[in-house]
Structure 1
Amino acid sequence: MFERIIRFSIEQRWLVILAVLGMAALGVFNYQRLPIDAVPDITNVQVQINTAAPGYSPLEVEQRLTYPLETVMAGIPNLEQTRSLSRYGLSQITV
């Protein structure tokens, strides 16, 4: 069996060389299309809640919007961190 394969490969060497070059070209083509990420995405999942409150001062925004929303979000399972920002007419919470 192996003797027949070797004999055929020697007799038809140009066909074998052409087949090997074709497979190499196909491999190079597929390698270029392969999506490889050099650095995996290791960022954590974040959700940002922006609430507009026109006419509210930062203290009112903190008392009426930011604090109640932070309190509700504190019950989320596997929560690592909560950050907030209260400005004139805007409450921004990052969970």
Structure 2
Amino acid sequence: VPDITNVQVQINTGAPGYSPLETEQRITFPVETAMAGLPGLQQTRSLSRSGLSQVTVIFKDGTDIFFARQLINERLQVAKEQLPDGVEAVMGPVSTGLGEIFLWTV
């Protein structure tokens, strides 16, 4: 199966004890703001749940995934200063959307 998915990087942040609203305000929003203006950025998507923030950064086709991850890593270093103590935003592993398709078709 050819991989025709977009270039995306996921940023996951655990926040035990935070409500969805607190997670969005204190974690998701600062991370999304830090990603704004990245070269090749197409879109950001986010999910804020009880104790979990997940931000997906989507780049234009043709963007090198490792270049994208380096850019995000640099921005995360700045964003960490705005996050609450004890909360760490980490990038997910290199993967594609095909993993989700295979997960549901097995």
What residue in structure 2 maps to residue 83 of structure 1? 45
TM-score (norm 2): 0.51
Q: Of the two structures, which has the highest relative contact order with CA contacts closer than 8 Å and spacing of 6 or more? A: 2
Q: How many residues align?
A: 57
Q: Which amino acid aligns with 1:76?
A: L
TM-score where L is the length of structure 1: 0.56
**How high is the sequence identity, in percent, across the aligned residues?**
81
**1:62 — aligned with what?**
24
| AA at the equivalent of 1:91 | S
Higher relative strand content: 2
Match status 1:49 vs 2:49: no
Runs of 4 or more, structure 1, over 6 Å off, are none
User: Residue type matched to 1:67 in 2?
Assistant: F
Higher helix proportion (structure 1 or 2): 1
RMSD of Structure 2 on Structure 1 (CA): 1.1
> Gaps spanning 5+ residues in structure 2: where?
58-106
Cα distance in structure 2, aligned partners of 1:87 and 1:65: 11
Shift of 1:40: 4.0
Partner-residue secondary structure (3-state), 1:63 = helix
1:92 aligns with 2:51: no
